Amino acid sequence: MKLNLSKKLEKALNEQVRMETESAYIYNGMRLFFKEKGLPGATSWMTHQAHEELKHAEDFIDMILDLDGHVVLGELKEPTTEYKSILDVFEAGLAHEKEISSSILELLDLALEEKNYAVENFLRTYVDEQVEEEDHFRGVIDMVKMAGDDPAALFKVDGILAKRD
């Protein structure tokens, strides 16, 4: 039992830093798609999301440093800015969040296996965070589906997305 990090856990947490940073990059690609389509509400929603991801990456960095670990910033993949529709973007976002959730759960398994309770506590807050993240995307998907191809309804959805704080 210990409060510092094993090399294995340090490596896995660093990979999560990379993934959270990459999430911001992916959401920036989505933001640009919305900006080019002239959807200010969706652009602002996605900008907010991208900023959140950078905060998540920062949290993981702080966790590693607090436990006397070493941070390594990994390479990021180039994100796409090409999507078929608003729905396509949010569905891709939800699929991405599901991958992030699996990664957090795997990390939690590792922390439990190593009896690293400090990391376990930290990760449990991220399990809750992921429930929220997936729920946000699902909520938007439901609204966009309801609006269908009706431009007036989509305009309204864009107005609702603008109100995210």
Residues 158 and 39: beta-carbon distance below 8 Å: yes
97 belongs to the binding site for ligand OFO (CB under 6 A): yes
Q: Is residue 100 near ligand OFO by the rule CB under 6 A?
A: yes
Q: Is 133 in the site for ligand OFO (CB under 6 A)?
A: yes
Q: Is 86 in the site for ligand OFO (CB under 6 A)?
A: no
Decide whether 100 or 119 has the Cβ nearer to ligand OFO: 100
The DSSP letter of residue 77 is P
What are 121-126's contacts with CB under 8 Å, separation 24+? 122/59, 122/63, 126/56
Tell me how far, at minimum, the Cβ of 11 lies from ligand OFO, in Å: 19
Report the C-alpha gap between 68 and 106 in whole angstroms: 22
Contact at 8 Å (CB) between 147 and 157?
yes
> Is residue 91 at the binding interface for ligand OFO, with CB under 6 A as the rule?
no
Q: Measured between alpha carbons, how far is 146 from 82 in angstroms, rounded to an integer?
A: 23
Query: Between residues 3 and 73, which has the closer beta carbon with respect to ligand OFO?
Result: 73
Binding mask 33-72 for ligand OFO (x = CB under 6 A): --------------------x--x----------------
> In 85-116, which ranges are continuous DSSP H helix?
86-113
User: Which of 20, 33, 67, 110 lies at the binding interface for ligand OFO (CB under 6 A)?
Assistant: 20
CB 107 within 8 A of CB 125: no
Nearer to ligand OFO, 23 or 44 (CB): 23
Q: Which residues bind ligand OFO (CB under 6 A)?
A: 20, 23, 53, 56, 97, 100, 133
